[in-house]
Amino acid sequence: MLFRSERYVERPRHVEIQILGDQHGNLVHLWERDCSTQRRHQKLIEESPSPRLPLETRRKMCEAAVRLAKAAGYFSAGTVEFIVDQQDNFYFIEVNARIQVEHPVSEMVSGIDLVKSQIRVAAGEKLGFTQKDIVPRGHAIECRINAEDPAANFRPCPGRIERLVAPGGYGVGFDSHLTVGYTLPPHYDSLVGKLIVHQPTRQEAIQTMIRALKELRIEGIKTTVPLHLEVLSNAAFHEAQVDTTFVERMLAG
């Protein structure tokens, strides 16, 4: 594990490791999430597993995250974040000592309820499983839906929700606080929902997400759904040729 500023890495990828530990010295990782699809260093799409991460790099990164957390005596849910260069070297960024927006991605591929586990750990319970029990399954993708207008330089779009239709079907979930009649204020973060899909393969997950985005209806405000559809339909995203500068290059082109 190396330490290096992101500005010195050309076209970096952003990969993070979900960790979970109890107060009895047990600590595991729930594999990685790729968060490279960003705009102005704000995450837009997260997925697991990372589609471009070699297995050996993945193993070393997960082991490094666990070593770091154990050295700090950490318990509860947390995330160890790294950037990865074009040669698949990884560099430590930070530790987020909390549950994160994208935690459902790790829950989908691991089958572990992180929020429930976090509460049990806080109550002094042991994890109840070991690292060998955490076998990743399928592919999960999450899109962060923000109240912004991509056609107007991502201008914030507060307002009253006139219509809300959440997509459904196998492997599709939508987490949101929105209801019809709710007035979205201008004072807080623009995130209004998380659209999550889980399918056996990455291509199936991408196609399911595209279908779900098209079915999602949030009327009365503008959202970033058109941007997500543009990204998910881009050949570079399908080929996993994405880094933290990809969205800016796509929009500029």
Q: Which residues belong to the active site?
A: 98
Alpha carbons 208 and 215: distance in angstroms, whole number = 11
**Which neighbouring-strand residues pair with 15?**
34, 82
Residue entry with tokens 């899109």: 143
**Which neighbouring-strand residues pair with 107?**
none
Helices (H), the chain: 55-71, 103-110, 114-122, 202-215, 225-232, 235-238, 246-252
Alpha carbons 102 and 81: distance in angstroms, whole number = 13
Alpha carbons 189 and 240: distance in angstroms, whole number = 29
Cα–chain-centroid distance for residue 169? 21
Backbone angles phi, psi at 2, to 5 degrees: -110, 160
Longest dimension (CA), the chain: 53
Q: Which two tokens stand for residue 158?
A: 């507060």
Residue entry with tokens 């102005």: 40
Q: Which two tokens stand for residue 198?
A: 């889980």
Please check whether residue 46 is in contact with residue 148, taking contact to mean a CB–CB distance below 8 angstroms: no
